[in-house]
Structure 1
Amino acid sequence: MALQLYQVVSTQSIFVLCKPKQHLPQTLKHHRRQQLSIQCVSKTEVSQPDSRMVYQPTIWSDVFIKLLDASISINYERVNELEQKVRSLLNPDSENGSLSVLQVLENIDDIERLGLGYRFQNDIIRALSIIADRNIVKIGEKEDSVYEASLKFRLLRKHGYNVSQDFVRRFKDSRGDFMGVLKTDLKGLINLYEASYLAFEGERDLHEAKLFATQYLPNFKGREYGAHELINHALELPLYRRMLRLEARWYIDAYGKREDANILMLELAALDFNMVQSQLKTELQELSKWWKNIGLASKLSFVRDRLMECFFWTVGMVFEPQYYSCRVGLTKVGALITVIDDIYDVYGSLNELKIFTDAVKRWDITAIEHMPEYLQVGYRALFNTVTELCFNTPIALPILAKEWGDLLEAFYVEAKWTHNKYIPTLEDYMNNAWRSVSGVVILSHGYFLINKEMKKDTIESFEKYHELLKWSSTIFRLCNDLGTSPDEIKQGKTANAISCYMHANRVCEEVAREYIKDLIDEAWRKMIKAQVACSQESGDPFIDMAINLARLSHCTYQYGDGHGAPDARAKDRVVSVIIEPVKIRKKEHL
């Protein structure tokens, strides 16, 4: 029979609580591997976990989704007209003479933040190529301000150019300190801050720039009009780590408040956002029918019903209209992962989970005969859905089946840890956890869904993305643990990054969380390095998908478990991206 959910860890828990929070020592930020001297007091009692886990029901019923109004009235001639006018803002050719390099960079930045980058992808690539090839406009040369140099560095590295961090040194004095004038340059400081988050491992100058900008940006609050919102937005989460559609929605509003806003660009952004959203509603309605027909939420009452949240994840990974089939497929994958994760976490006995794991690793439909009914329901849904997704690309099925087998093997390892009340070392935990978080399975499906022309070299080229998958999944795992660990500790689940570090180092949760945040920063630096390396060989949109998975991890888990236990903040995110259109503010043309 099914295993009772979560045994009591121990009456003498290894977990500890910090004393009332004080200012953390500065060494925490700079020397994360040193033992940190924050006093803790022992917590000797762990609350009894419930014998049955009950997840909150979905707030997005199939009736609500069915009644969504996906119709929209769009003047496509106006959209085309606006697109041509905005395209003219991306020409840095010297023969034109009307636009400086800085103006083109600013236009690229605004276009991308407004969510329009996919419409002008070729124009942006061409413009950045011209800028990168002009040796007379090297980053950090005397004519560059810190604002221009930082903006140029960020956009070039974001698009895969292996540009140097050396520009930072030009804004330091003879003693190696940042020039005092930068402390009063809001525009320069905020762009230096954003650029610093695209650092590689070991780029010390960019690390120092981040610390400097983070220290002095708060001083501008209240001193300049509109600065408070911009600074809070940046310090809450840097631009490069933000979900693209949420950022577009926020920036449409923020950009519209600027006196120097290009009204044509703003109008196009609002129209485009609503056009994309209309298509997303149609896709969601199609997926809702599939979810209801497959019946997993109704047949398995103990699992999370999270179709909307899975669709939101998929939109965050790949929102562009042309990738409709990829979005639909990935949402199905995400929903299956959520259900199977709950089978391993809250219901299955170890013997039953072993049978299920071995069956998936063999990808053998006849193995269903030896499973209890609830596992048959899950296995049949998994087998049929993945096989259907590979109908047009059968060459991908063996690869995806293996990834599913590896994922469930990782699930099984964690189930054994919980059953045996075993707390692994952080290293052992992470060797398993970067796979158990499911990022590799999600991205593997994404790769084959986004590359419709499947050839032998397409299969072979997938292997070169290993580092990108690993570090994106590592960020996913660590963000997930930061958001879910408080509930998991209460439930008796012994293995997560927080508890493993607390146990090994005998420190309190506050210290462990700061350490894990440092590991996330480190993983980002390694992922960006992998991104640039991959971009040198190809412009595969899959690279962006992997980066977007890491961005979604911050979005979902920054303030708690936005997937397992979505709160009002999570609901607002869904509403702003998928449900509520942008209001079109008609203004006179420039």
Structure 2
Amino acid sequence: METQAHLTAITNQQNNYRRRANFPPSLWGCSFASFSFPQTEFESYNRKVEVLKENVKDMLMASTKDPAEHIEFINLLCRLGVSYHFDDEIENSLKQIFDDLPDLLEKHDFDLYTVSLLFRVLRQHGFKIPCVVFDKFKDTNGEFKKTIINDVKSILGLYEASFLGVHGEQVLDEALVYTKANLESSAMQSSPRLADHIRNALIRPFHKGVPRIEARKYISFYEEEESRNDTLLKFAKIDFNRVQLLHQQELSILSRWWNDLNFAEEFPYARDRIVEIYFWANGIHFEPQYAFSRMMATKYTKIVSLVDDTYDAYASFEEIQRFTNAIERCSMNAIDQLPADYMKVLYKALLNLFNETENDMGKQGRSYASNYVKEAFKELVRGYHAEAEWADKCHVPTFDEYVRNGLATSAYGVIMAASFLGMEEVAGGEEYEWLKCNPKIIKAGKMIGRLMNDIVGHEDEQKRGDCASGVECYMKQYDASEKKAIEEIEKMDVNAWKDINEDCMRPTNAPMLLLQHFVNLIRVTDVIYGNDDDAYTIPSSLKDYVTLLYIEQVPLYE
């Protein structure tokens, strides 16, 4: 049995050569903690939403007379962020459209825009409309007809549809190349409003965008549409502001939780990012009914971030070994084996969160859920430990070995297991087992999360002595340059999205709702790491999004 004096000596020795990442400070501090929920304003929004919702529902039902108009209206509901009010109606409508598809396509000579819209909306809801619907827009040489080249609306629609492809759909691969080149040219010749819309799509197509961000942007775009539906626009604006109040309240509660823990002071080496973590959780599902999911996902992801920074940027390997062993035990009795006070504080916080989860799930009769979260956390820490061991031994694993371990260190397992806590209506034991077994869609998403992080962060990580990232591992295994390694990893990202799309096509192996929320997690990752920097580490990169979603209301003009 080691004495406390011996453990203290170990810590003092480690303190002499600790690494420091020098992460940027928080942009937000305590600014959200003082939020006071405006109950009167919220109730006013609620009343207006209920009235407008019935009007919009009537419009949705009336549009069924014209298939093209109906799919356009459903698309507007999705893009404006209010489709969740009409999930059942949209589900029934799309199922009917899909079942009647052969007759619809035979009776109606839909143009490219309508076919593209039909394709994208159906596939985004899991209905696998065949890609041969685009064949009629190709000439005898197998190329897209020149008659469509000046139709920017149709070209943009085809571009957006091309991201819903699965493996083996060459026509969609060709469509992406064709439309991207044309849109880049069109953006320079279009009106400022349309040019901005095109550039946004080129940076991040709708299928890869975070729904809440996309809705806020589209509200502004749609407001300038001459043929806009003012009732629908008003509904979207008021509902956005209504839901924003709930998000501000959640962010306030979480900010106070974080401040009460005083972890920004306890762990000065770590990234202080409670607002950015909430942005991550909120991106998975923004709808009001998932408040508990967002709260738990935020808390767990914040603790994950602390452990990650501890392993990567502060702790010695001996301390890491001891902390990993303590996590395996998950018992307060293991706290004495930890050599440093800061580790004891972190360990105790994690155990308290586990206990909180067990109590909450026990009240719901879902005690099994807390066990799945705990096991997912253990798996994650084992992955972090493997990386720390590689760094300690200056070992560069093969790329394949790195990716296998990266499925755990993506942290997706913990984030989704925590999100499931607030989804009792669809996330039972069977769904947790599905998540644990790493089906194709989960593997693909985890790989994207791990490797996108590596692409933007590997240079800084190498400077501070982290283990080799996926980029370095690929370079070594395949004797490739850094540029070549990144190019090949980006191709893997494209193929992984095709795996994800395929697993979202019906019949699915998990509830569609869970699949959609997992895809949203990947979409948030694309926003965090998809602009050539690590927006979680560099919080200024997310500042505009945080302002857009949680600070600025949508202007209302009565």
Name 1:19's counterpart in structure 2.
none
* Contact 2:388 2:467 (C-alpha < 8 Å) held by counterparts: no
Distance, in Å, in 2 between the alignment partners of 1:438 and 1:88 is: 43
The aligned counterpart of 1:175 is 141
Show CA shifts across 1:95-145 (max 9, x none).
Answer: xx4xx1111111111111111111111111121112111144455886121
CA contact (8 A) 1:410 1:436 kept: yes
Q: Is 2:217 the counterpart of 1:244?
A: no
The RMSD of aligned alpha carbons is 2.4
Partner amino acid, structure 1, of 2:49: V
Report what 1:340 is aligned to: 307
Query: Which residue matches 2:505?
Result: 532
**Selected match of 1:305 from 263, 266, 272:** 272
Residues 498-509 of structure 1: matches in 2 within 5 Å? 498-509=471-482
Give the secondary structure class of the aligned counterpart of 1:163.
Answer: coil
Contact 1:446/1:542 (<8 A) preserved: no
Give CA-to-partner distance per residue, 1:192-214, whole Å, 9 cap, x none: 11111011122111111111111
Is the alpha carbon distance of 1:459 and 1:520 closer, same or farther for their aligned partners in structure 2, counting shifts above 3 Å?
closer
How far residue 444 of structure 1 moved from its aligned partner, in angstroms, is 1.4
Aligned mates of 2:493, 2:390 — CA distance in 1? 24
| Residue 576, structure 1, aligned to residue 544, structure 2 | no
Distance 1:527 1:505 in 2: 26
- The 1-side partners of 2:79 and 2:171 are apart by 26
In 1, the alpha carbon distance for the partners of 2:323 and 2:110 equals 61
Q: Quick one: which of 72, 76, 81 aligns to 2:51? A: 81
- Tell me, yes or no, if structure 1 residue 149 matches structure 2 residue 115: yes
1:551 corresponding residue in structure 2: 523
| CA deviation map 1:527-572 (0-9, x unaligned) | 1111225x545644221210011000111112311112212x3111
Q: Which residue of 2 aligns with 1:374?
A: 342
Cα contact 1:4–1:347 (8 A) shared by 2: no
Give the alignment partner of residue 460 of structure 2, picking from 483, 487, 494: 487
In structure 2, C-alpha distance between the alignment counterparts of 1:4 and 1:144, rounded to whole Å: 69
Question: Hey, what's the Cα distance between the residues in 2 that align with 1:465 and 1:505?
Answer: 27
The 3 A distance-change label for structure 1 pair 4 and 424 is: farther
Contact 1:151 1:195 in 2 (8 A): yes
CA distance in 1 between counterparts of 2:324 and 2:151 reads 57
Instruction: Name the aligned partner's letter for residue 260 of structure 2.
Output: N
Q: Is the contact made by 2:46 and 2:242 (CA closer than 8 Å) also made in structure 1?
A: no
Q: Which amino acid aligns with 2:174?
A: E
Q: 1:136 to 1:455 in 2, by over 3 A?
A: closer
CA distance in 1 between partners of 2:525 and 2:426 (Å): 29
How much does 1:503 deviate? 2.9
SS at match of 2:226: coil
Q: 1:359 to 1:76 in 2, by over 3 A?
A: closer
Partners in 1 of 2:465 and 2:183 — Cα distance? 41
Q: Look up the SS of the partner of 1:390 in the other structure.
A: helix
Picking from 469, 485, 489, the partner of 2:442 is: 469
Bigger mean CA deviation after superposition, 190-199 or 167-176: 167-176
8 Å Cα contact 1:434/1:474 also seen in 2: yes
- Which residue does 2:151 correspond to in 1? 185
Q: C-alpha distance in 1, partners of 2:63/2:198? A: 34
Alpha carbons of structure 1 residues 452 and 77: separation in structure 2 relative to 1, 3 Å? closer
Q: In the superposition, relative to structure 1, how do residues 539 and 401 fare at CA in structure 2: closer, same or farther (>3 Å)? A: closer
Partner of 1:15: none
CA distance in 1 between partners of 2:105 and 2:352 (Å): 53
The TM-score with structure 1 as length reference comes to: 0.86
| 1:288 paired residue number | 255
Contact kept? 2:45, 2:238, Cα under 8 Å: no
Q: What does the per-residue CA deviation read over 1:192-246, in whole Å, with 9 as the maximum and x for residues that have no partner? A: 1111101112211111111111121223234443331122111111110011111
For 1:252-285, what per-residue CA distance to the aligned partner results, in whole angstroms no more than 9, with x for missing partners?
Answer: 1011111011111111111111111101111111
Offset at 1:483?
2.2
* Partner Cα distance (2:335, 2:107) in 1: 67
The question of whether the paired residues in 2 share the 8 Å contact of 1:161 and 1:536 is answered with no
| Structure-2 change in CA distance of 1:368 and 1:139 (3 Å) | farther
Going from structure 1 to structure 2, the CA distance change for 1:138 and 1:207 (only over 3 Å counts) comes to farther
Aligned-partner residue type, residue 272 of structure 2: D
Measured in 2, the distance between the counterparts of 1:141 and 1:510 equals 50
* Equivalence map 1:53-452=2 (5 Å): 53-62=21-30, 64-68=31-35, 70-71=37-38, 72=41, 74-91=44-61, 97=65, 100-138=66-104, 143-225=109-191, 226-372=193-339, 373-391=341-359, 392=361, 393-451=366-424
Deviations 1:14-68 (A, max 9, x none): xxxxxxxxxxxxxxxxxxxxxxxxxxxxxxxxxxxx9422222212122x11333
Deviation at 1:148, TM superposition (A): 1.0
Matches within 5 A, 1:38-57: 51-57=19-25
Rounded to whole Å, the distance in 1 between the matches of 2:377 and 2:521 is 18
Q: Conserved in 2, the CA contact under 8 Å of 1:182 and 1:188?
A: yes
Write the distance in 1 (CA, Å) between the matches of 2:194 and 2:434.
45
Provide the rounded CA distance (Å) in 2 between the counterparts of 1:289 and 1:446.
Answer: 21
Distance in structure 2 (CA, Å) of the matches to 1:366 and 1:140: 71
Identity of aligned residues (%): 29
Alpha-carbon deviation of 1:92?
6.7
SS of residue paired to 2:32: helix
Greater per-residue helix proportion: 2
Structure 2 CA distance for partners of 1:150 and 1:455, relative to 1, 3 Å: closer
Distance 1:4 1:179 in 2: 67
Deviation at 1:409, TM superposition (A): 0.6
Deviation at 1:91, TM superposition (A): 2.4
Shift of 1:169: 1.6
How many residues matched?
537
Gaps of 5+ in 2: 1-9
Q: Structure 2: how far apart are the matches of 1:490 and 1:530?
A: 38
Q: Which stretch shows the higher mean deviation, 70-79 or 103-112?
A: 70-79
Give the AA of the match of 1:551.
R
- CA distance, structure 1, for counterparts of residue 461 and residue 436 of structure 2: 34
Contact 1:154 1:198 in 2 (8 A): yes
Distance 1:52 1:457, change over 3 A: closer
Runs of 5+ consecutive residues of structure 1 not aligned to the other structure: 8-49
Contact 1:92 1:127 survives alignment (8 Å) = no
Comparing 439-448 with 260-269, which one deviates more in the overlay? 439-448
- With structure 2 as the length reference, what TM-score do the two structures score? 0.91
Q: Structure 1 540/362 Cα, relative in aligned 2: closer, same or farther at 3 Å?
A: farther
- Cα–Cα, structure 1 residues 500 and 537, in superposed 2: closer, same or farther, change >3 Å? closer
Q: Is the 8 A contact 1:139 1:153 kept in 2?
A: no
**Structure 2 counterpart of 1:424, which letter?**
P
Once the two structures are overlaid, the 10-residue window that deviates more, 482-491 or 183-192, is 482-491
Question: Does the 8 Å contact 1:92/1:101 carry over to 2?
Answer: no
Work out whether residues 56 and 231 of structure 2, in 8 Å CA contact, stay in contact via their aligned partners in 1.
yes
1:180-203 deviation line (CA, Å, top 9, x unaligned): 112111111111111110111221
Q: Distance in 1 between matches of 2:222 and 2:525?
A: 26
